[in-house]
């Protein structure tokens, strides 16, 4: 677990991002350029690597779009996006976890969704997350963004579904179901 009072780098950046306008945004862009310049194998990501291997873990099951399942050990304190990337679950994170792309869309079980909501300020998702979910493909009642969910001990055993790609999606465009 992260030491008390320390929030994950990703979270900090998110908060910073919201509060300080373009200043921080341009830092992201800077990092983005420098990681290319280095051209090395190890990507330098602004959100760092999340909690280390010593962090306590919980078991999560991802249901892939083809209905196969991937069971992973997620580290407490990392985001679901980080868990997925670390363990090879096929979840995109185009904006690198700053709530600006909706490619990390996941569908939760009702219980987990409600629990997370209960713990949030105003018991509601942030406006930013709701706005991004409006663009997500295959929206469900319990849809969330994987980069906005931090793994906690209480999540052990949870099942998380990735949205299904229906083959004719591009014909009728994105038509989320009502929330």
Partner 1 sequence: MLKQCLLRPQTVAFVMNQTPIRSSCHLARLGSTRRSLWRTFSSTNNNDDVNNDNKPRLSVAVVGAGPAGFYASKYLTSSVLKRITQSTSSGDDDDDTHSTPFGFSGIDIDLIERLPTPYGLVRYGVAPDHPEVKNVENDFAALFNKQGESQNSSINFYGNVDVGKQIPLSKLQSLYDVVILAYGCQAADKRLNIPGEDTLEGVLSAREFVAWYNGHPEFQHIGPIVERCLWKKKSNTTNDDDITETSISPARVVVIGQGNVALDVARVLAKGKPGLIDTDTPTSVLNVLKGGVSHVSVVGRRGHVQGAFTIKELRELTKLDKEGHNVSFVVRKEELEMGMTDASMEELKGPGGRPKSRIDKLLQDNAVEEDAQSTDAEKSVEIRFLLNPTQLAPHESNLSKVGHVLCERTRLEGDPGKQRPVGTGEMEELPADLVLVSIGYRGMPLEGMEELDFFDSSSSTVVNEHGKLPGENNLFVTGWIKRGPTGIIGTNIMDAKDTVKSVMNYLETSVPVAGVESQGRDGLNDHLGAHDVKVVDWNQFLRIVSAEIDTTRLRSEAQPREKILAVSEMLNAAQR
Q: Which residues bind partner 1 (CB under 8 A)?
A: 17, 21-23, 25-30, 32-37, 39-41, 43, 45, 65, 92-96, 98, 100-103, 127-128, 130-132, 134-137, 139, 165, 167, 169-171, 173-179
Distances in whole angstroms, Cα of residue 97 to Cα of each of 54, 66, 75, 83: 23, 24, 17, 12
Site for ligand FES in 85-124 (CB under 6 A): 93-95, 97, 99-104
Nearer to ligand FES, 2 or 13 (CB): 13
Contact (Cβ atoms closer than 8 angstroms) between residue 10 and residue 82: yes
Helices vs. strands in the chain: H and E counts, helices first: 6, 5
Query: Which two tokens mark 88?
Result: 């090879």
Partner from partner 1, ligand FES, none binding residue 81, C-beta < 5-8 Å depending on class:
ligand FES
Interface with ligand FES: number of residues (CB under 6 A): 14
Minimum CB distance to partner 1, residue 32 (Å)? 5
Burial of 115 (0-12, 13-18, 19+ CB in 10 A): middle
Nearer to ligand FES, 48 or 157 (CB): 48
Nearer to partner 1, 4 or 167 (CB): 167
Q: Residue 143 is inside which H or E element, if any?
A: strand 143-145
């Amino acid at each position: 677990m992260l030491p008390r009072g320390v929030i994950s780098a990703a979270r900090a950046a998110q908060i910073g991002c919201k509060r300080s306008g373009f200043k921080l945004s341009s830092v992201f862009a800077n990092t983005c350029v420098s990681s290319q310049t280095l051209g090395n194998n190890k990507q330098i990501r602004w959100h760092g690597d999340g909690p280390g291997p010593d962090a306590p873990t919980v078991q999560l099951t991802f249901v892939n779009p083809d209905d196969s399942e991937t069971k992973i050990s997620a580290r407490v304190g990392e985001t679901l996006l980080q868990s997925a990337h670390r363990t090879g679950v096929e979840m995109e994170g185009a904006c690198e976890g700053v709530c600006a792309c909706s490619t990390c869309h996941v569908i939760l079980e009702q219980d987990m969704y409600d629990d997370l909501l209960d713990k949030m300020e105003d018991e509601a998702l942030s406006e930013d997350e709701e706005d991004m979910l409006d663009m997500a493909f295959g929206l469900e009642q319990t849809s969330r963004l994987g980069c906005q969910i931090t793994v906690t001990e209480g999540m052990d055993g949870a099942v998380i579904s990735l949205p299904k790609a229906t083959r004719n999606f591009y014909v009728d465009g994105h038509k989320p179901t009502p929330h």
